[in-house]
Structure 1
């Protein structure tokens, strides 16, 4: 899909076609994350930094399950 760069106010930007917004599950106000890859750039509605942080948190929670269970107890 080819997108043209256009002037939007004092900035430059692209207009995303409705079909692309639907496929990405995006709507007004949502974020689109662009990351550099070995093949160029990739655009996704998912934040890769957040995903990496969640993976690290899941690993930590799994390895410290008993400690977290004890901290969660109320008396």
Structure 2
């Protein structure tokens, strides 16, 4: 079923908001970037979670929902799409 959540070496890491030029930002350590499979220029999406605050994720939840809708349509109208492809 559900695997237990294993603590990582990065658990407990505290990130500090710092001034960067005329803006503020968070510097992510190399270990954390590697763990998240992120590189410079990648985007993180903010997802509000009920009772748990906010979550930063590299996956766009709107894109995921759109793909679920598209897959459902492709399954429902598979024969139509096959006929249109001819």
Could you list the structure 1 runs, at least 4 aligned residues long, displaced by more than 2 angstroms after superposition. none
Structure 2 residue 53 is matched with structure 1 residue 40: yes
Which residue of structure 2 lines up, in the alignment, with residue 65 of structure 1? 78
Q: Please tell me the root mean square deviation across aligned C-alpha atoms, in Å.
A: 0.8
Q: Larger relative CO (CA 8 A, sep 6+): 1 or 2? A: 1
Return the alpha-carbon distance in structure 2 between the equivalents of residues 30 and 45 of structure 1.
Answer: 8
Gaps of 5+ in 1: none
Question: TM-score w.r.t. structure 1 length?
Answer: 0.92
Gaps of 5+ in 2: 1-12
Q: Map 1:1-75 onto structure 2 (within 5 A).
A: 1-38=13-50, 39-73=52-86
- Tell me which protein shows more helix as a share of its residues: 1
